[in-house]
Structure 1
Amino acid sequence: MNKNINLNFHQTVSFSKDYLAKILKISDGASFLTKEEISEITGIPTGKSSGKVVPHIYYGLYMGLITFSYENKRYNLNRTSLGNLILKEDSYLTENLTIELLNYFLTSNYLGAHMWKSISRDIFPKYRNILTRENLEKELENIYPENKNIKLVSWVSMYQKELSKNNFYNFIEKNIEKKNHKIDSSYFYMYVYTLLKDWELNNLSNEITLDNLENLKWGEGLHINKDEEFNLLDKIADKNIIKINKQLSPITILKLKNSDDFLDKIFSLLI
């Protein structure tokens, strides 16, 4: 089932916010460019067999910022509605909210990169959020047996270096710990958007059960524990965005609004 999945799309290239911001800026849908031309325009290095352009195109794709087509060795890059918002509000990707949002989609079931999703939303919860790098590699080999030579170097580098201040993971000797975050009231509409967008991308009906929500692993994507997740759902329900029926068994959740209703509000509560 996982035979054709390329877990090493990153080509062991470390993630760079600066490079991603440059890819986002040129993704206007108007040009068909080779990776060498993209490199010349942006200053992102590339080469015949390796480089940093193509991996960052894929990072942009998996974070929900861009889509692209590829034909005759040329890329046509297009910003998504989320990509347009980020370009407008935080073009250099400096806000913590932006990184929380992009990390959510990078690890999501529908949009995200398979390895990032498996690590964040499947493997770490299984180990109560702490395990050794060796066990992490073994788990990935079990999930993706057809993918030989799985490389963790780019994943580790992303969270240990470029995104270290966001405290997604702690690296302590041989152990890696997934960190839980506290709810930030200024991120409220980001939380709303991720919930509704993931709901829609997975083609769920307007009324779902709590089990359906569990399958999205929304809280895992936000790095919040179950108590925080349920508290956040209640706050979203208080704004009449969803309706939670706790009288039924199982509990059901009714979607009253669409993700597009909140896209432009994502950054509105930041001071």
Structure 2
Amino acid sequence: MKPLVSIITPCYNSADFIVETINSVISQTYENWEMIIVDDNSSDNSRELVEELIKENHKIQLISLKENGRVSNARNVGLAAAKGKYIAFLDSDDIWLKDKLSLQVSIMEEKSLVLTFGAYKRIDEAGEIISITIIPPTTVNYKQLLGHNVIIFSSSMVLKSALDGIVLKNVGHEDWVFWLDLMKKNIIGYGIKEELIYYRIRKGSVSSNKLKVIGYTWKILRESEKLGFIESVYHFTKYAFATVWKRLR
């Protein structure tokens, strides 16, 4: 029996994208999965669209929150409900390629890995490809991740038992802090060179707002990771150069 993968998808006002995202999971060549969609009190018809798809696929479940608690809380709710050996995160506007789970589980089982992440292309709101394939490093550890978050959340898969109480914090760049917390346990992330996902860039998102990214990055280095001023400047500079280089590709 192949291991169960729990897919956690927070959803807030994602009616324009959520159906395509869910269909990219349904189309996976790997079959032993559960998808936990946590609707964060959407004000559009996201929830109704999910409910329609659930009627046709029993492996999808919907958790509807009565109050908006932001994306970190929604992901934590999904984590608490997950039953799988592995956790795979998928944002409500990203798209998986059909062999994503199959390839990732195969590699992690064969090599007994805790964390993997993969190559990706960026797409815009209309679904048009706007970048070349971004290839991740072969490995990344805590110190290397401080210089740049190379792990696209929707491409990641992690062994659930390794989390051992680690949850997402309600901060900017919560995914980056989540991986930093995990890697403090001397865990190494392994990059898969094959393209696994399409990562959507939306207008007004945190990832598209450069000033917010700068502020969050500095705050994490100083407050979350408690680095000294000089060390923070060093890693912040590395992060800035890496971000500019990534946007040029």
TM-score by length of 1: 0.28
Q: Please identify which structure carries the higher strand content.
A: 2
Q: Please identify which structure carries the higher helix content.
A: 1
TM-score by length of 2: 0.29
